Structure 1
Amino acid sequence: MSDHKIFSMAFSKIYSLYVQKAEKKSRTEEEVIQIICWLTGYNSDGLANQVGSENDLATFFAEAPAMNPNASLIKGVVCGVRVEEVEDPLMRKIRYLDKLIDELAKGKAMEKILRS
């Protein structure tokens, strides 16, 4: 696994940035929570514990109960890179989450974001 700087960033910091991004576009923190729980398998209490901890992104994803089997349906571009083509498994998970939050901020319906 390559050592990207983002892997060691605190999940709580990234989480707050996701919430800010969503709220700027009139979406809610509850929707951000729903997306993260859908992708990672955390329940709301488990996610709250992660947000309250000092865990980095690598630990957050390593401790995730179960990645959603539909995560592979997430396609598109984040930061100029197609998420489905990211080779590093951890970076792909991070990009999946980035893509879902981008879709939320762009006003996409939750059913589509959650690949229902």
Structure 2
Amino acid sequence: MIPTQRQALNITLTRPHRDTTIVHLTGDLDDRSVPGLEELLIHRLRSCLRTVVVDLTELAYLSPRATDMLARQAGQARRNHTHLVIVACSPGRRVQADGGHARVLPCGDSTAHPHRAARS
């Protein structure tokens, strides 16, 4: 059996609007990558942004620890009166946000494109 080689996590930030940031992720969001992404999200959610979109649609791998971190950040968004929009592609990438402002948009949804999600 050949071991699966992990891909590095790549993060691209865009600001389609003054009060919106899209965090586009590609590669693997594994346990080693979680602290860096969490720090980035903490800063964005505490800033003057109204909406932070996390686009998971091109991730090759999403660890359970990463899913837990995204759910925690949904709570942070609620405390900071910020909208956290999580764009996911498969049921395995759904993020539960108990009482938070996180929304998970499936790829087939007409609003699932991050730029459209940022406007809603």
The two structures share one fold, judged by TM-score above 0.5: no
Which structure would you say has the larger RCO, counting Cα contacts within 8 Å and 6 or more residues apart?
1
Identify, as 1 or 2, the structure richer in strand.
2
Identify, as 1 or 2, the structure richer in helix.
1
